Amino acid sequence: MSKIMKILAIGNSFSSDATRYLYKIAEAGGSIVKVVNLYIGGCSLATHYKNMNNDAKAYALEFNGQDTGFLVSIRESLQSDDWDYITLQQASHFSPYYDTYMPYLKALSDYVRFHAPKAKQAFHRTWAYENGSYRLCTELGYESHTAMFNDIKTASKRAISEAGLNMVIPSGELIERMVLTGITPVYRDTFHLSFGVGRYAVAALWYKLFLGKCISGNPFNKFDEEISGEVLDAVKCLVDGFEL
CA–CA separation, 223 vs 221, rounded Å? 6
Contacts of 229 (CB under 8 A, 6+ apart): none
User: What was the pLDDT predicted at 89?
Assistant: 98
Q: Could you tell me which residue, 166 or 125, shows the higher pLDDT?
A: 125
Q: How confident is the model at residue 1 (pLDDT cuts 50, 70, 90)?
A: very low
Residues of the domain holding 15: 5-240
* Mean pLDDT score across all residues of the chain: 97
- Contact indicator for 45, 91 with CB cutoff of 8 Å: yes
Instruction: Calculate mean pLDDT across residues 121-128.
Output: 98
187 DSSP 8-state letter: B
CA–CA separation, 241 vs 141, rounded Å? 33
User: What was the pLDDT predicted at 2?
Assistant: 63
Which of 206, 243, 198 is closest to 224 using CA atoms? 198
Instruction: Say whether the peptide bond before residue 117 is cis (omega within 30 degrees of 0).
Output: no
The reported pTM is 0.97
Query: CATH number, domain at 47?
Result: 3.40.50.1110
Helix extents (H) in the chain: 13-19, 22-28, 45-54, 74-79, 104-115, 134, 145-163, 171-181, 197-211, 229-240
CA angle 164, 60, 151 (to 5 degrees): 40
Instruction: Calculate mean pLDDT across residues 38-62.
Output: 98
CA–CA separation, 191 vs 129, rounded Å? 5
User: What was the pLDDT predicted at 127?
Assistant: 98
CA angle 52, 159, 132 (to 5 degrees): 100
Total structural domains within the chain: 1
- Contact indicator for 48, 75 with CB cutoff of 8 Å: no
Instruction: Calculate mean pLDDT across residues 91-107.
Output: 98
Instruction: Calculate mean pLDDT across residues 71-96.
Output: 98
Q: How confident is the model at residue 179 (pLDDT cuts 50, 70, 90)?
A: very high
Instruction: Calculate mean pLDDT across residues 120-138.
Output: 98
User: What was the pLDDT predicted at 166?
Assistant: 84
Whole-number Cα distances in Å, 98 to 21, 25, 44, 102, 179: 30, 34, 13, 7, 24
Residue 142: enclosing H or E segment and its boundaries?
Answer: none
List, for residues 201-242, the tens digit of each pLDDT value. 999 999 999 999 999 999 999 999 999 999 999 999 999 999
CA–CA separation, 241 vs 84, rounded Å? 25
Whether the pLDDT of residue 187 is over 80: the answer is yes
